Amino acid sequence: MALLEIRDVTVRYGGHVALREVTLGVEAGRVTGLIGPNGAGKTTLFNVLTGLLTPGAGRVLLDGEDVTRLAPYRRARRGMARTFQILELFGQLTALENVALATRLRRRTAAGERPDPGALLERVGLSAFADRRADTLPTGLGRRLELARALAVRPRVLLLDEPASGQDPDETAAFADLLGELADEGLAILLVEHDMTLVMRVCAHLYVLDFGTLMAEGDPASVRADPRVREAYLGTSTGTDPGTGTAGAGTLAR
Amino acid sequence: MHEFLVFTISGLTTAGIYAISASGLTLTYVTTGVFNIAHGATGMLAAFTYWQLAVAWGWPVPLALLFCVLVAAPLFGLLLERVVMRRLAGAPESTRLVVTVAVLVVLVSAAQWLWDPSTFRRTQGLFAGRGFEAGGILVPYNDVVVLGVAAAVAGGLWLLLHVSRAGVAMRARVDDPSLAILNGARPATSARLAWMIGTSLAALAGILIAPKLTMSAIPLTLLIVNAYAAAVIGRLRSLPMTFAGALVVGLAADYAIGYVPKISYGQQYLRGVLPVIPVLVLLVALLVLRASRLRGKPALAIREITPTPTWAGTGVFAAAVAFGAVIAATTLAKADLYSSTALWGLAIVGLSMVPLVGYAGRISLCQLSFAGIGAAVVSHAGGGSNPAALLAAAAVAAIVGAVVSLPALRLSGIYLALLTGAFAVALDNWIFQLPAFTVLGDQFALFTNGTLSVERFAVGPLDTTSDRAFFLTGAALFLAAVAVVVAVRRGELGQRLIAVKESPAAAATLGMNVRLTTLAVFTLSAALAGLGGGVYASAVRSTTPDAFSFFTGLTLLLIVVVAGVSSIGSGLAAGLLLGTAAVGSATGDDSARVTATVVGLAALALAANPNGLIPSVLRPAYEPVRRSPAVLAGSVGAITALWVLTLVDAVAPNVLPLGVLLVAVAAPLVARPLAGRAAATAGTEPAGRDEGLSGPLEWLGFDAPVGRADLDAIDARLALDTARLDTGPHLASGKTVGEARVGAA
Ligand SMILES: Nc1ncnc2c1ncn2[C@@H]1O[C@H](COP(=O)(O)OP(=O)(O)OP(=O)(O)O)[C@@H](O)[C@H]1O
Ligand SMILES: [Mg+2]
């Protein structure tokens, strides 16, 4: 059974339907990808999952329990953590303080020691920036800091919103390895990403969202082969194969 | 029945006026994202201008009315937009609110300069109170016209928003306030139009309501609270609901005027209840309002520069304060020392704003009211010199603070500001004026006959009855409060507060209970304010509710914010300006007004530099002094020498203050070149760090706006992903779009 599920979620902004009866599941121990063109509703879905947005209809289940009406902080304490597409760091605090604060906020029931903030920074390669104010970090480093901060709450489910944008190819490769490690440790990861190389490399399962509707799902190879996906992305069924890496973030971002 | 109809008619009229005012408030808020606390003050100014024209200069009434509403007010709105409000785009919400508070303070002071408050003035309702008979009731023409005008305003706004092009652009924001408020790109025309119309509506409401009250600046200004209540019922965005809200507030107010005097029991307690009606309405509205979405990180144009206070730095500050306090206590003349003892209590009240406004970014307009509660507690619990009364003052204020903040915790920061403002007004007008009442068998008079008397405390050998002893004790208490605030900022709570200010959304998704954290900081700051009030009351020994008025509270808030609300020194600044003889002796009887005017004007500049003077001017100037032992020792030595000479009467008493001033000016001038040389030899400054920028990185945006070239240089330095920047013309707007997605409101 999926650790995190949403069932028939619909979200409206005024007359605009941002999500229409979306159902998906995120399983522990692997990376699940969520892709789709700009404005498809990916970030909206994250907001619904984390409780920042209450859906007009539908349910969110964590470990089989209905958490749809639960406040964001309660969901976090049950093991959900996320990063933000537009950085939401605590800018006046240092990188280390950002992570340290998060370790103190982590769910109360979790057994074991508090994670070591220094070690977390090390894990994402930010040790050298521990004492820098977070708002002085460039975007790429800020994204890694958000990841460290999310890991600091010892989540069971990790939601990553475009974590690789602003990173160079080497950094992205290192990041892919890190994702693999985390999944092996048993985390359920939902990854929103425009960098198809990364998505194809790390994801075990993919969902494709387009104009708020779930259009396709399956393992990466079958999604890549799906003509409707190509059409949604490229406007035509001919063109660059989204999986070859020649069509990078720029193409997919339309 | 007859009576009921009379009250209903006058209630409908009042409602119509509130509706006019509240719709102006809502219109500017949704269009520009600025909640104009000064809306009522604008109406007050218009009412005075109308009085000047129609009564003092004898203009025909229609001409005066039309001139005020259709010419003067829109021009004033335009001026306001051009000079003040325009620069607020990209400023934090707390700054936006504080700047409108500054406008309020300036307008009230201006009105008091122009129209001497001690003269009695009155305007008449339209048609000089004449009316017609209907079913045995006299219906004043005035009321008919007011209702007609309110209906016309409603219709006019509907037409404007649905038919005209500019209006449709404005309505896009009315319909989606989360986009409206967060959207960095605000077409200047809608903003200008909104300020013009909003100001006109404020003016119209002010002129129409004036006959129901005396022409007095502060009561007219405080009518804003009624408009708040109506606007909150409209959820700060729906105009029809705002009109409905005005109906509730207006009818409730007039029925209260009509029926409360008829209640046979407890009349003396109810007499002041009228001003509390809108507060009650506001409370109910807040309780039924849906919880606000958690806000993401606002797209700020200016980065906050306040560093975390260090214990070493705090030690230096404490030493300087203690040194200064000892010098003042030993050299000031008796009368000056007495009038300066009030300094420390007010400094603690000012300091109470630091954790709340500075760290957590929440505005409270009622800190001085908490101080009033603290003063009352000390007066009653002091029982002759028991120092535990100060702790009781803090505890009671904390409890009241917690209860007051509860209804607003689910909601965004603006509602907390409104609630605290309404609470302060209610306390001002009602609670502090209450006669004696009995609680659990104890006779309890808050401000007995309008005056509180307090005994200074004594513990063992420490007797603080003399002014000198109390002055030094006050300094010690202030430093203790400073230690508390520094400890908070350096501890986990401080980091939580920063997190709540920077991004409630992120804090919550990491597992922080944002409401609880807000409650904690509000309670803490109320406790500090209560303590400050207790210390203040002990200092002055006898005090009246006036000392804790809403308006003085606003001045205090402005001083703290101008000085730099994240810096502990800002509390001291408030104490020095409001609690010593310095300002008074320079300006005579008008000192309160002078302070308010100057501080208000200074606060208007906040839009350009929300960080305040201490972090952006004072600290950089004195940093070299701190780092240069020679200059530091020289300064301290010079002042000590002067002090000793004064003590032994070797020099005239006024040499010391002049000497201190001279040292304060000279020390940074001497230290700067020294520090510069030291840095050059040590080579600590990384070379080329500020290359390509128009100034040092930390100071960008202070002396001059950040230019395109600077942004490019920074982008290049940070290797920002240009693909992302391409989605919007500026960094800021790209950010705002994303922020809306976080689900902020
Ligand atoms: N607060 C809001 N109010 C109104 N519409 C919104 C709001 N937030 C998002 N939308 C709209 O909802 C749709 C989905 O937005 P969302 O941010 O979820 O897309 P996304 O898939 O994350 O896109 P991107 O790849 O650009 O991040 C978009 O059309 C967007 O304009
Ligand atoms: Mg997105």
Question: Which structural domains are found in chain B, ordered by start?
Answer: 2-267 (1.10.3470), 311-627 (no CATH), 693-745 (no CATH)
pLDDT of residue B741: 34
Which atom of ligand 1 lies closest to the CA of A36? 21
ipTM value for the complex? 0.89
Which one-letter DSSP state was computed for residue A94? B
- C-alpha of residue A142 to centroid of ligand 1, in Å: 22
Q: How far apart are CA B73 and CA B202, in angstroms?
A: 8
User: Which atom number of ligand 1 is nearest to the Cα of residue A40?
Assistant: 21
Band of residue A95 on the pLDDT scale cut at 50, 70, 90: very high
Looking at residue B605, what DSSP letter applies? G
Cβ–Cβ below 8 Å for A72 and B735: no
Position B269 scores a pLDDT of 65
**Which ligand 1 atom sits nearest the alpha carbon of residue A85?**
27
What pLDDT, on the 0 to 100 scale, is given for residue B722? 44
For residues B54 and B123, is the Cβ–Cβ distance under 8 A?
yes
Mutational test site, ligand 1, from A9, A38, A254, max ligand atoms within 8 Å of CB: A38
Q: Residues B10-19: pLDDT tens digits?
A: 889 989 999 9
> CA A223, CA A242: separation in Å to the nearest integer?
10
Identity (one letter) of the amino acid at A30? R
CA of B720 to the centre of ligand 2 (A): 18
Residue in B502, B510, B735 nearest the CB of A102 = B510
Q: Which of B214, B165, B208, B231 is nearest to B25 (CA)?
A: B231
- Number of residues that this document lists for chain B: 745
Using the structure block, give the residue that is written with the tokens 């390509």. Answer: B692
Res B191: pLDDT: 83
Per-residue DSSP letter, B720: -
State how far the Cα of B495 lies from the Cα of B488, in Å rounded to an integer.
Answer: 9
Give the model's pLDDT for residue B106: 92
- Residue B383, CA atoms < 13 Å, CB-side half-sphere: 6
**Tokens linked to B690:** 């500020």
Rounded to whole angstroms, the Cα distance separating A106 from A122 reads: 19
Q: What is the pLDDT of residues A170-215, one digit of tens each?
A: 888 989 999 999 999 999 999 999 888 889 899 999 999 998 999 8
Does any ligand 1 atom lie closer than 6 A to the CB of residue A36? yes
Least confident of A232-236, B504-508, B621-625: A232-236
Contacts of B503 in chain A (CB under 8 A): 88-90
| Widest Cα–Cα separation across chain B | 94
pLDDT in tens, B402-459: 998 888 888 878 888 888 988 888 887 777 766 665 555 555 566 655 677 777 777 7
Identify all chain B residues contacting A135, using CB atoms and an 8 Å cutoff.
303
Tell me, what's the pLDDT at B680?
A: 63
Report d(CA A97, CA B497) in Å as an integer: 13
Question: Between chains, do B742 and A71 touch, taking CB under 8 Å as contact?
Answer: no
Give me the torsion for CA of B218, B221, B222, B226, rounded to 10°: 160
Beta A205-210 vs A188-192: how paired, if at all? unpaired
Structurally, what CATH architecture does the domain formed by A4-79+155-252 represent? 3-Layer(aba) Sandwich (3.40)
Contact B502 A91 (CB under 8 A): yes
B689-717: average pLDDT: 59
Residue B175 has pLDDT above 80, yes or no: no
Q: What is the pLDDT of residues B178-218, one digit of tens each?
A: 454 444 444 677 788 899 999 999 999 999 988 887 788 88
Nearest CA in chain B to A149: B510
Protein residue closest via CA to atom 27 of ligand 1: A38
Residue A35 dihedral angles phi and psi, to the nearest 5°: -125, 165
CB contact under 8 A, B721 and A150: no
Asked if residue B663 lies in contact with residue B639, where contact means CB atoms within 8 angstroms, the answer is: yes
Report whether residue B708 contacts ligand 1, using a CB cutoff of 6 Å.
Answer: no
Q: Boundaries of CATH 3.40.50.300 in chain A?
A: 4-79+155-252
Query: What are the structure tokens assigned to B245, written together?
Result: 């809200």
**Is there a contact between B616 and B570 (Cβ–Cβ < 8 Å)?**
no
Q: What is the per-residue pLDDT for A249?
A: 36
List beta partners, residue A189: A31, A158
Q: Which residue has the higher pLDDT, B16 or A249?
A: B16
Predicted local distance difference test score (pLDDT) of residue B697: 61
- Report pLDDT for B163: 76
Say which residue, B236 or B356, is predicted with more confidence.
B356
User: Is pLDDT above 90 for B253?
Assistant: no
Nearest residue on chain A to B302, alpha-carbon basis:
A135
- pLDDT exceeds cutoff 90 at B24: yes
Q: Which residues have their alpha-adjacent CB atom under 5 A from ion ligand 2? A: A 42-43, 85
Ligand 1 near B741 CB (within 6 A):
yes
Q: Whose CA is nearest to atom 14 of ligand 1?
A: A41
Indicate the pLDDT class of residue B226, thresholds 50, 70 and 90.
confident
Task: Record the tokens describing residue B462, joined without a space.
Answer: 């420490």
CB pairs under 8 A between A and B: 134
pLDDT in tens, B288-317: 887 777 777 666 666 777 788 899 889 999
A27 CA to chain B: closest CA distance, Å?
Answer: 20
**Ligand 1 closest atom vs CA B740:** 1
Which residue of B238, B409, B509 is the best one to mutate when testing the A interface, meaning the one whose CB has the most A CBs within 10 A?
B509
Question: Of B176, B720, B723, which is closest to A138 when you measure between CB atoms?
Answer: B720
At residue B690 the predicted structure's pLDDT band, cuts being 50, 70 and 90, is: low
- Whether residue A248 is predicted with pLDDT greater than 80 in this model: the reply is no
Put simply, the answer to whether A88 touches B742 (Cβ < 8 Å) is: yes
- The answer to whether residues B305 and B611 touch, using CB atoms and an 8 Å cutoff, is yes
Which residues of chain B does A101 touch, with a Cβ-Cβ cutoff of 8 Å? 492, 495-496, 499, 510
The secondary structure of B297-315 as a DSSP string is ----SS---PPPPPHHHHH
Cβ distance of B513 and A73 shorter than 8 Å: yes
* Element housing B575 (H / E): helix B569-579
What secondary structure, in 3-state letters, does A19-87 show?
EEEEEEEECCCEEEEEECCCCCCHHHHHHHHHCCCCCCEEEEEECCEECCCCCHHHHHHCCEEECCCCC
The residue contributing the CA closest to ligand 1 atom 4 is A13
B505 with A106: Cβ contact below 8 A: no
Cβ neighbours around B173 below 10 Å, total? 24
Close Cβ partners of B123 (under 8 Å, ≥ 6 residues apart): B47, B50, B51, B54, B55, B207, B210, B211, B215
The CB of A211 under 6 Å from ligand 1? The reply is no
pLDDT score recorded for residue B46: 95
Q: Which residue has better confidence, B689 or A58?
A: A58
Q: Is 0.90 surpassed by the pTM of this model?
A: no
